[in-house]
């Protein structure tokens, strides 16, 4: 395995994705969503997020301790960004990484690259490219949210920057298992649309099954990365650490599964 070839493949695919339909299908809805949300936070977030109604609503959705920590102890606008990022990352990550392998596998264009690269290098190159696309767009959104928080939240600049860095790390790690999950689905399918639909359907089935097993056996069972969303909010640091380790475990499982499927596929 040659990491230089992996980097070249990833860079070429990333440049191709940004300026073509493959990437614009993700970038346009992502940009519109975060533009309107960040605009709302900038114009009305200063008073609305720390109001009694917002604290009561967040206490009802999660727990009173969550509202206390996120809206009072931390910069409120960055906390709201983190909540919305964790809620929307599954969809946007799937949308941005749905055409890692499926389209070129169906067109059998990989056979021209296989004369110079191995299947493992192609798989990792596409995985890195898809992750870089989603992660890069997310980092821009985090930076925008940090600038807004700097202006409207009543916290010192060092507290804002430190929390913004924490939000960025959590969000970027949360993206990783979803991109590798879509790599596994994409290695099996023959088009980006079918990969996206199949990925969403399987994800919903796994999430529902995990909820059923948790209620049936009174255990915390998460069959998808989204099951660790509440732990990632950082109410208890040890829970957050366990959740981050769990995300890495999901990433390895999905990555190995996708590689095994892609290695055996007729290209």
Please tell me what DSSP assigns to residue 70: I
DSSP state, residue 188: T
Condensed to tens digits (0 to 9), the pLDDT of residues 173-195 reads 999 999 999 999 988 887 878 88
> What mean pLDDT do residues 37-52 have?
70
Query: Sorting pLDDT into bands at 50, 70 and 90, what band is 196?
Result: confident
Q: Structure tokens of 180?
A: 């590798």
The pLDDT score that the predictor gives to residue 31 is 92
Q: Is 54 exposed, middle or buried (0-12, 13-18, 19+ CB in 10 A)?
A: middle
Q: Pick the most confident of 52-56, 63-67, 114-118, 142-146.
A: 142-146
- Residue 228, Cβ density class (10 Å: 0-12 exposed, 13-18 middle, ≥19 buried): buried
Total count of residues recorded for the chain: 267
- Which helix H or strand E contains 7, and what residues bound it? helix 3-18
Tokens of 77: 């606008």
What does the alpha-carbon distance between residue 184 and residue 202 come to, in Å, rounded to a whole number?
Answer: 12
CB under 8 A, 24+ apart: contacts of 110-119? 110/267, 111/267, 113/9, 114/267, 116/5, 117/2, 117/5, 117/9, 118/1, 119/262, 119/263, 119/267
pLDDT of residue 48: 59
State the Cα angle at 234 between 232 and 224, rounded to 5°. 15
- Average pLDDT of every residue of the chain: 82
Q: What is the pLDDT of residues 122-131, one digit of tens each?
A: 889 889 999 9
Check residue 44 and give its pLDDT: 73
pTM for this one? 0.88
Q: What Å distances lie between residue 14 and 2, 40, 110, 133, CA to CA?
A: 19, 31, 16, 7
Question: ∠12-21-108 over CA atoms, to 5°?
Answer: 60
């Amino acid at each position: 395995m040659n990491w230089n070839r992996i980097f070249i493949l990833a860079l070429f695919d990333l440049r191709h994705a940004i300026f073509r339909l493959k990437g614009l299908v993700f970038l346009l809805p992502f940009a519109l969503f975060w533009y309107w949300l960040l605009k709302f936070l900038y114009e009305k977030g200063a008073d609305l997020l720390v109001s009694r109604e917002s604290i009561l609503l967040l206490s009802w959705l999660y727990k009173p301790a969550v509202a206390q920590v996120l809206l009072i102890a931390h910069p409120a606008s960055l906390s709201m960004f983190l909540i919305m990022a964790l809620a929307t990352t599954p969809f946007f990550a799937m949308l941005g990484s749905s055409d890692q392998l499926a389209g070129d596998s169906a067109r059998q264009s990989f056979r021209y690259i296989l004369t110079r690269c191995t299947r493992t290098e192609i798989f990792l190159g596409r995985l890195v490219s898809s992750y870089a696309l989603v992660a890069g767009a997310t980092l821009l959104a985090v930076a925008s949210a940090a600038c807004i928080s700097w202006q409207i939240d009543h916290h010192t600049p060092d507290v804002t920057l430190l929390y913004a860095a924490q939000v960025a790390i959590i969000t970027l790690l949360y993206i990783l298992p979803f991109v590798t999950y879509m790599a596994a689905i994409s290695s099996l399918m023959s088009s980006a649309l079918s990969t996206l639909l199949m990925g969403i359907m399987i994800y919903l089935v796994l999430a529902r099954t995990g909820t059923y097993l948790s209620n049936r056996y009174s255990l915390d069972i998460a069959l998808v990365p989204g099951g660790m969303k509440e732990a990632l909010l950082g109410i208890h640091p040890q829970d957050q650490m366990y959740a981050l380790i769990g995300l890495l475990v999901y990433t390895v499982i999905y990555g190995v599964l996708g590689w095994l499927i892609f290695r055996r596929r007729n290209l």
